[in-house]
Amino acid sequence: MLWSELYNLVLDKLPGTSLLTDQRPFIYIDTRKQLLHWIDIDQAGNKTYSVSTASNGLGNRIDSCKTPIGIHCIKQKIGAGEPLGMVFSARQATGRVSNKTDNREEDEITSRILWLDGMEQGFNKGGDHDSSSRYIYIHGTSDEKRIGEPVSAGCIRMKNTDVIDLFDQVVVNDVVIIQ
């Protein structure tokens, strides 16, 4: 799919939105291929990263442990300046750094957090389908060995160096499309 088709998808679903008027890059997550694409509007600096989405598949309902689909935006960036592998709990740095890469026992959130907010009322925003109140993030993990496989509890996991790189490229309110 071309970036312009994705751009038009957002405009069609959210008429009058101002999210794309400044031509900011946006994120497209291809759950089928387990890839995250950071798409620069003028195609100058596009990047692709491997990710892990939910082992339970796709879905927007609260308590489903599924990755929500649709149009989102970055609600908050958390963790700027923290060291690689910093472990977060309730969106707060714990002071503990994990150097694990094959940690299947714990679903640790590490390095950086991009907290997502659904943009489609009744689909991924509001009621029992609200991505923000589900605490859906793009985040680092201490289970990097399984990146590329759907193994998360709903969030989008990335390798720690990749999530730091992405974190440094995006701003609050950037669009995130998950399909």
Give per-residue pLDDT as tens, 81-96.
Answer: 999 999 999 999 999 9
**CATH at residue 111:** 2.40.440.10
Which residues, in sequence order, are CB contacts of 134 under 8 Å at separation 6+? 62, 68, 154
Structure tokens at 134: 């589900």
Q: What value does the CA radius of gyration of the chain take, rounded to a whole number of Å? A: 15
Residue 97: per-residue pLDDT: 97
pLDDT tens profile 136-169 = 999 999 999 999 999 999 999 999 999 999 999 9
- DSSP label at residue 44: S
The domain containing residue 150 runs over which residues?
A: 3-178
Higher per-residue pLDDT: 126 or 39: 126
Largest CA distance in the chain: 45
Higher per-residue pLDDT: 3 or 105: 105
SS3 content of the chain, % helix, strand, coil (to 5): 15, 35, 50
Number of domains present in the structure of the chain:
1
As a whole number, mean pLDDT of residues 20-31 equals 82
Number of Cβ atoms within 10 Å of the Cβ of 107: 15
